[in-house]
Amino acid sequence: MTSKTAGPTPPENLTPHQQAMPKVNRVTSDDIKASLKAGFSDFLARPFMSGFFGLFYAAFGILMVWSLVWLGKIWMIIPAIVGFPLVAPFAAAGLYEMSRRLKKGESFGWYEILTVMADQRKREMGWMAFVTLFIFWVWVYQVRLWLAIILQNSSFSDFDGFLNIILFTPQGWTFLAIGTCVGAFLSAVLFSVTVVAMPMLLDRETNFVSAMLTSLRVVSESPVVMLGWAAIISVTMLLSMVPAFMGLIFTLPILGHTTWHLYQRAVEPVDG
């Protein structure tokens, strides 16, 4: 490991009910490259199972857009698509488990992977899901708020009309500018509290608050590299949604497996 260990040394007299915060490592660009290589290797090791998670995620995205059209909520399509990657860390939980088992050389089948969320309920994964979905809800709500404030007199009878107002009017440009800034902030917050929190909850006995704090420490220890990784994820996910979400079949699994290996490099194991 090329990273430099940082963080306080845990005391030796912890009681069974106390939990020491794990040591975190300084992440480098070499760690990102190595994690990407390992993530791609995991994808190739079980391509159909990995691709299933990408297909499921893509199908959910298509259903989301279709539902908005059916409900006549045309204005929500772009905000929903932009905010859609916010829930990816939770959707990739099965991929983290696959990488964990592959690294340990454990055999597994569909049942073990598809039931991982139920098996991890005692590790507070549900609370992390709540955090993720809450931030997604805040994103959608603030978009609706700014639409009402900035574009209050506009009507969106169809998707083309919505695009015309957003892209070719001063009010639309203002809305895009504010929405981009708010969206970037919410994405940075969610990334910072989940980048290693989700795989950490799958890997060890801890609570979701400790997992989020550890994730924040990893980002604060290597802010430039980690935010660069966040940018790579965001751009890759958004580009993957262009061809009717189909690119996600490949990119979500690779990014999910990569996240697991990055967590392994960023957070010291329990036994040190």
**Domain residue extents for the chain:** 25-266
The predicted structure's pLDDT at residue 93:
84
The predicted structure's pLDDT at residue 16:
39
The predicted structure's pLDDT at residue 122:
58
Q: Which long-range contacts (CB under 8 A, 24 or more apart) does 31-37 make?
A: 31/2, 31/3, 31/225, 31/262, 31/265, 31/266, 32/225, 32/228, 32/229, 32/232, 32/262, 34/261, 34/265, 35/258, 35/259, 35/261, 35/262, 35/265, 36/254, 36/258
Helix H or strand E segment including 226: helix 223-240
The pLDDT tens digits of the residues spanning 129-187 come to 788 888 888 888 888 888 778 877 666 666 677 778 888 888 888 888 888 888 788 88
CB distance 79 to 179 below 8 Å: yes
The predicted structure's pLDDT at residue 14:
45
The predicted structure's pLDDT at residue 221:
94
The predicted structure's pLDDT at residue 265:
95
pLDDT averaged per 10 residues in sequence order, the chain, 272 residues: 48 48 92 96 95 92 88 77 78 89 90 75 72 82 81 68 80 84 84 89 86 94 93 89 88 94 91 54
The predicted structure's pLDDT at residue 10:
45
One DSSP character per residue, 9-68 reads PPPS---TT--PPPPEE---HHHHHHHHHHHHHHHHHSHHHHHHHHHHHHHHHHHHHHHH
